[in-house]
Amino acid sequence: MPQLVTHRSAGVIAREQIRSVLDRAAPKVERAVQSAVLATADRRDSAEQARQRGEPYAREVVHRCAEGEVLLAWWWAGACCAAHDHGGAQGSVVVLRGHFQERSFAFDGGRLHRIAQRELGVGECIAVAPDAIHAMSAREDGITLHVYTASTRHMRVYDTTSRTTWLIGEDGGAWLPASTSQRGQPWTNRHERR
Ligand SMILES: [Fe+2]
C-alpha cells in the first residue's frame, strides 16, 4: 500500500510541476504556438533542413527553467525518430499539426521490443512517463509541442541495429548522432542502469 501512495503522489507532483512550467512559460508558449500553427514557410524550411541533415525534426526550445522545459518540433513527412527515453523526465506531447504514429518499447532481457503502437491526430496527446521508451513518426508535415519536467538533457537514444546507446545532451534530439567523433555506450538495458 505505501507503494500505491507513493505512485499516486508522484503523479500529483508531476502534474503540479508541469503546470508550474507552463505557467512560467505561458506568454512564450502562446506566441510560439500561434506562430507554429499559423505555419510558415520558414518553418517548413527548417524541417527540410533537418531532413537534409538526416534528422527527423527541427526543434526549438521555447522555455527552459530549473523545473522543466517546453519545446516545439517541426517534422517533415515520413520522418521517424529513434527509440529513446527522456532522461528521467516526464511530461506530455501534443500534436498541433499533422498525423503521427507512436511506437512504445520495453526491454526484454537484452532486446528492445515494440509493445504498443498508436495513431495520433491534431489535439491528441502522449503522456510521457519517466522510464518510457518510444519513437514517433510523422505521416505528413507536422508540429508537436513537448512539455517536460524536468529537462530531457540526459535522454538516451537506442540504436537497435548496432545495439548501441547514445547519451544525448540538451542541444540534441531523438536521433542517432551523425558525428563519428562521438562514441556510443554499450547497449543499455534500462533495468541495468537503475
Ligand atoms: Fe520522446
Q: What is the pLDDT of residues 7-65, one digit of tens each?
A: 444 455 577 888 888 888 888 888 887 777 666 666 778 899 999 999 999 999 989 88
What would the pLDDT profile of 72-114 be if each residue is shown by its tens digit?
999 999 999 999 999 889 999 999 999 999 999 999 888 899 9
CA of 153 to the centre of ligand 1 (A): 12
Write down the residue that cell numbers 526491454 correspond to: 107
Residue 133 to residue 105: CA distance in whole angstroms: 5
Residue 109's contacts (CB-CB under 8 Å, 6 or more residues apart) are 189
CA of 37 to the centre of ligand 1 (A): 21
Q: Residue 194 domain-assigned? A: no
Is pLDDT of 5 > 70? no
- Phi first, then psi, for residue 190 (nearest 5°) are -60, -25
pLDDT at 16: 82
pLDDT at 136: 98
Q: Residue 176 domain-assigned? A: yes
Q: What is the CATH number of the domain that holds 71?
A: 2.60.120.10
Write down the residue that cell numbers 513518426 correspond to: 137
| Cβ atoms 165, 186 nearer than 8 A | yes
CA of 87 to the centre of ligand 1 (A): 10
Domain coverage including residue 92: 2-186
Mean pLDDT is highest, among 80-89, 162-171, 179-188, for: 80-89
Residue 153 to residue 156: CA distance in whole angstroms: 9
Is pLDDT of 3 > 50? no
pLDDT at 191: 46
Cα 22–Cα 28–Cα 30 angle in degrees, nearest 5:
80
CA of 69 to the centre of ligand 1 (A): 13
Helix H or strand E segment including 128? strand 125-128
pLDDT at 6: 39
Number of alpha carbons in the 13 Å side-chain half-sphere of residue 116: 9
Q: Residue 192 domain-assigned? A: no
DSSP strand pairing (185-186 vs 164-168): antiparallel
Q: Residue 133 domain-assigned? A: yes
Q: Residue 179 domain-assigned? A: yes
Q: Residue 193 domain-assigned? A: no
Q: Residue 11 domain-assigned? A: yes
Q: Residue 155 domain-assigned? A: yes
Domains of the chain: total = 1
pLDDT at 182: 65
Name which of 102, 84, 83 is nearest 154 in CA terms: 84
CA of 135 to the centre of ligand 1 (A): 6
Euclidean distance between the first and final Cα of the chain, in Å? 23
| Mean pLDDT calculated for residue range 115-125 | 96
With bands split at pLDDT 50, 70 and 90, how would you rate the model's confidence at 178?
confident
| Mean pLDDT calculated for residue range 121-143 | 94
| Cβ atoms 182, 166 nearer than 8 A | yes
Q: What sign does the dihedral 120-136-33-40 (CA atoms) show? A: negative
More confident residue, 56 or 4: 56
With bands split at pLDDT 50, 70 and 90, how would you rate the model's confidence at 66?
confident
